[in-house]
Amino acid sequence: MNGRWHVGPIGSARAGRPWLVLRAGGLEATQWNGPVLTLDHGVVHRLGPDVLAETTDPAALVPLLRRAEPTRPIGEVLQDQRLVAGIGNMWMSETLWAVRVSPWLPAGEASDGELLAALQWARAAMRAAVTGARPGRSVYRRAGRRCRRCGDVIVARGQGDGNRTAYWCAGCQRGPFTGH
């Protein structure tokens, strides 16, 4: 976000009318001269279930992922917010590394067990991150480095219409290496 920011204990910001104030854990982030913000409820209605929501059951999300085109890479499917909301690029890469599935594996070739394991891992890791206990990164932004599990080299390549960078280890993640 742009504008001028001040972060400090609650009440420590300068006087005046800030554009935005965020408070948590005794701290306050205050922004002045922020951008124009528009809330569009239509977008929210098009989102799939939130993977972080208390009421979301990962097992109930597997059939939603099965609605995707079966030849579409699983890395793209996990980031399709219309199917399941909340999983972004970093979490997709880390999740698929954790369950040993390549982001290039066609969604139709992933087993229900693999999809469920991915959704459960993503949910648990993302919820832990919300509480400040985010796990270390195993593949995300580690292209060219050795895999912590098998020692092979981590690779990265743009994926999907948004060309979002997928990171994976071809040595220990099941599926195609290059996505071709």
Range with lowest mean pLDDT among 6-10, 96-100, 145-149 = 6-10
Domains of the chain (ranges; CATH) run: 1-37 (no CATH), 48-169 (1.10.8.50)
Count Cβ atoms below 10 Å from residue 23 Cβ, excluding itself. Answer: 11
- Stated pTM of the model: 0.76
Residue 135: DSSP 8-state: P
Q: What is the pLDDT of residues 24-81, one digit of tens each?
A: 888 888 887 766 666 565 556 689 999 999 999 999 999 999 999 999 999 999 999 9
Q: Is 153 helix (H, G, I), strand (E, B) or coil?
A: strand
Per-residue model confidence (pLDDT) at position 35:
66
Full DSSP string of 84-126: SBS--HHHHHHHHHHTTB-TTSBGGGS-HHHHHHHHHHHHHHH
Per-residue burial over 65-89, b if 16 or more Cβ lie within 10 Å, else e, is beebeeeebbbbbbbbeebbbbbeb
